[in-house]
């Protein structure tokens, strides 16, 4: 069945689909790339990292079909694994306060480290904080904001006033923002078109999103191009393919795809440890 390019029906929703068997054979792996995860002097302070997760599963495509999506497990858990090993704790929030949705079909089934971290944080994924409440209680105890990828990041985050408030706070307070793949779509929440002018990031290319329906990864095409909109905001996108590239522009730490999960985790852990130990 691994050569079948037909999107697989999601029985939980009318006209909704998971990726095809073929696309999963090409774009997922039972083991993830985790290396360089030893941090001899982990962080011992009280600052946390705020993860903003996707709380919507169904992304409407151009032909009326739903893509059954969420946050990509590797794009979420590989960076978190490094930061967790480096001594950092996470608060998990969603816009609604509803559970974080995952593309569980991409969970690396033979990776005990990734599965173990998922189990550790599952209670927080299942019952996250509501982002507006987090903002109301104050953000000063966060060292960084982490926005995982997966197509679920395209739903709600780019329009959210609460996401905008968090990103503006992070910029004003010189805090790190860590994101990858489709996660940078959250930057669109900031209304000021000059806010990110000239900033350089990695993200999943629009050109590849346009190709994925051909192999049944998505059941239709996206209705908008988040890369084009990021460029209109003044961003310079550093990649036009996915190779596992990461980039640091000041306090913005970004990666291009699931392939970048390990490298982004390494980059983020080192940057935070260097900043907070100085």
Catalytic residue numbers read: 181
Under 8 Å between Cβ of 20 and 8:
yes
Helix axes 73-85, 112-126, angle to 10 degrees: 100
Cα atoms in the Cβ-side hemisphere of radius 13 Å centred on 73: 25
Our CA angle for 224, 225, 231, nearest 5°, is 135
CA dist 16 → 95, 104, 220 (Å) = 23, 15, 11
Give phi and psi for 144, each to the nearest 5: -160, 160
What is the helix, strand, coil percentage profile of the chain, to 5? 40, 15, 45
Cα atoms in the Cβ-side hemisphere of radius 13 Å centred on 140: 2
Distance between CA atoms of 114 and 179, rounded to whole angstroms? 18
Identify each DSSP E strand in 186-269 by its residue range: 200-201, 236-237, 246-249, 252-255
Under 8 Å between Cβ of 194 and 127:
no
For the beta carbon of residue 6, count every other beta carbon within 10 angstroms: 12
């Amino acid at each position: 069945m691994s050569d079948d390019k037909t999107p697989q029906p999601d029985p939980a929703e009318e006209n909704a689909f998971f990726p095809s068997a073929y696309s999963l054979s090409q774009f997922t792996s039972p083991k993830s790339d985790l290396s360089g995860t030893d941090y001899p002097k982990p962080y011992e302070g009280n600052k946390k990292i705020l993860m903003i997760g996707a709380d919507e599963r169904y992304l409407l495509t151009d032909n009326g079909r739903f893509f059954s999506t969420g946050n990509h497990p590797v794009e979420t858990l590989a960076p978190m694994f490094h930061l967790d090993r480096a001594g950092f704790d996470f608060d998990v929030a969603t816009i609604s306060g509803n559970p974080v949705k995952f593309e569980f079909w991409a969970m690396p089934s033979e990776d005990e480290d990734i599965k173990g971290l998922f189990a550790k944080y599952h209670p927080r994924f299942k019952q996250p904080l509501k982002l507006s409440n987090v903002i109301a209680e104050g953000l000063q105890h966060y060292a960084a904001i982490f926005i995982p990828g997966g197509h679920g990041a395209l739903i709600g985050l780019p329009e959210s006033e609460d996401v905008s408030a968090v990103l503006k706070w992070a910029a004003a307070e010189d805090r790190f923002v860590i994101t990858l793949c489709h996660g940078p779509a959250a930057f669109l929440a900031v209304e000021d078109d000059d806010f990110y002018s000239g900033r350089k990031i990695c993200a999943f290319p629009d050109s590849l999103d346009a190709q994925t329906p051909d192999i049944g990864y998505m059941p239709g095409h996206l209705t908008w191009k988040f890369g084009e909109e990021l460029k209109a905001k003044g961003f310079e996108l550093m990649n036009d393919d996915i190779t596992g590239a990461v980039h640091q522009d000041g306090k913005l730490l970004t990666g291009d795809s699931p392939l970048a999960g390990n490298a982004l985790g390494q980059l983020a852990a080192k940057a935070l440890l260097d900043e907070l130990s100085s």
